[in-house]
A and B are shown apart, each in its own frame.
Chain A
Amino acid sequence: MPFLTAAVVLVGALGALNLVLVLGVVKRLREHSALLAVRRGAPSADLEVGTRIGEFETVTEAAEPLTRASLTEAGDLLVAFLSPGCAPCVEKLPGFVAHARSLPGGRRRVLAVVVGEPGEAAAFAAPLGPVAQVVVEEPNGALSRAFGVHSYPTLLRIGPDAEGRPVVTSNAVDLTRPTAMAV
């Protein structure tokens, strides 16, 4: 009997250990999947001019609701997808903030989407608050899906098409030249 008890305990312990290891592997695997998805992300240049923006519903950091219909209410919109994990984004951030500040129409005409782990992303998004509408979301969040953006930094300009639906009007945004946008 004691042998049997010992054997059952041993088998149980082995099973538990196995479970712990498998859960660890599953967690790591998910991290890898996320990394792969980021790596395989299409370059933003293949978001062609004229691409329609999908339906979405989200909230900005200032808790303003944002939907596809409200995107281009104020006219053309500069959209930046940034991620705290990408070196070029960190480099470009001050330039982008300065550029956004120089735009006529103020923060209603700029949308910054910061994609990443909420804590990091919120800290990264702090300087953007005064100059842009900021949305912080996880990878593959509502806006990433609606725009089809998986690589960072992605800069786009969008405007209403003939039917008033928002479409990509430029995928080569130059941050160095303040542009006068037609209202």
Chain B
Amino acid sequence: MTGLKCLVGVVFLLALCGKTVVRGGFGGFERSLRELRVVPRAYLRPVAVLVVAGEAGVVLALAVPGRATAVVGFGLATALLLVFTTGIARGLRRGSRTPCRCFGASTTPLGPHHLLRNLLLAVLAVLGATTTVVAAPDGHPAGALVAAAAGLVLGALAATLDELLALFQPMTPQRR
């Protein structure tokens, strides 16, 4: 449970930083939303603000120790991830290939791997919520520490997935 908390928490924290702390992050995110062409133009800004607020909520809820807040955090994370997945799926269906600015600047066009990543994360968040409700509190502190470390590393890897996948693709763009 601690591990899952750290994993989901780090992913959302990195997403939040990519959209807020980094200069031009929010503007870029808004623009990528517009190019995704699934949000009506009038709602672009509110939707972008809501997404950032939701991500901040997840980070806060998971950072606070306690069962109730953890369940809320995991629930919110699941909801957000499902919304993102639906948005990306609809964007892909309309042929939009705008880069995913989920974690700040990126040049990787949206693709199925983003869907897969979000769905996996959603599954993990659901798992986190259920274990929080069902399981006994963490036993050994050392175990929790190891789980936390593993969660942090896996979360960081999930956030940098684009870069890692790009390593294994040919560097030269295919000529038409």
Q: A26-B163, A118-B31 are in contact. Are A140 and B153 (CB under 8 A)?
A: no
Q: A23-B160, A26-B163, A27-B163 are in contact. Are A139 and B107 (CB under 8 A)?
A: yes
**Is A50 engaged at the interface, CB distance under 8 Å to the other chain?**
no
Q: Which of A30-38, A86-94, A99-107 contacts B (4 or more CB under 8 A)?
A: A30-38
- Residue ID in chain A nearest B162 by CB atoms: A30
Chain A residues within 8 Å of chain B by Cβ, number:
29
- Dominant secondary structure at the A interface: helix
Residues of the A chain whose Cβ atoms lie less than 8 Å from the Cβ of B167: 26, 29
B34 & A117 in contact (Cβ 8 Å cutoff): no
From B22, which residue of chain A is reached at the shortest CB distance? A119
Q: How far is the CB of B71 from chain A (nearest CB, A)?
A: 29
Write the nearest CB–CB distance from B173 to chain A, whole angstroms: 6
Which residues of chain A are within 8 angstroms of B173 by Cβ–Cβ distance?
Answer: 37, 140, 145
A57-B95, A140-B173, A145-B176 known; A19 vs B166 contact (CB < 8 Å) = no
Q: Are A119 and B28 in contact (CB under 8 A)?
A: yes
Given contacts A23-B160, A59-B35, A140-B107, contact A122 B176 (CB under 8 A): no
Quick check: B23 and A119 within 8 Å, CB to CB? yes
A35–chain B nearest beta-carbon distance, Å: 12
Determine whether B57 belongs to the interface, using a CB cutoff of 8 Å to chain A.
Answer: no
Question: Which A residues are CB-close (under 8 A) to B97?
Answer: 142
Q: Is A138 an interface residue (CB 8 A)?
A: yes
Q: Which residues of A contact B107 (CB under 8 A)?
A: 30, 34, 138-140
A129 lies within 8 A of chain B by Cβ: no
CA distance A59 to B31 in the complex (A): 10
Nearest residue (CB) in A for B160 is A23
Binding site for A on B (CB under 8 A): 23-24, 27-28, 31, 34-35, 37, 41, 95, 97, 99, 105, 107, 149, 153, 156-157, 160, 163-164, 166-167, 171-173, 176
14 additional A-B pairs beyond A33-B171, A138-B99, A138-B107, beta carbons within 8 Å, are: A19-B156, A19-B157, A23-B156, A23-B160, A23-B163, A27-B163, A30-B107, A57-B95, A58-B35, A59-B34, A59-B37, A119-B23, A119-B27, A142-B97
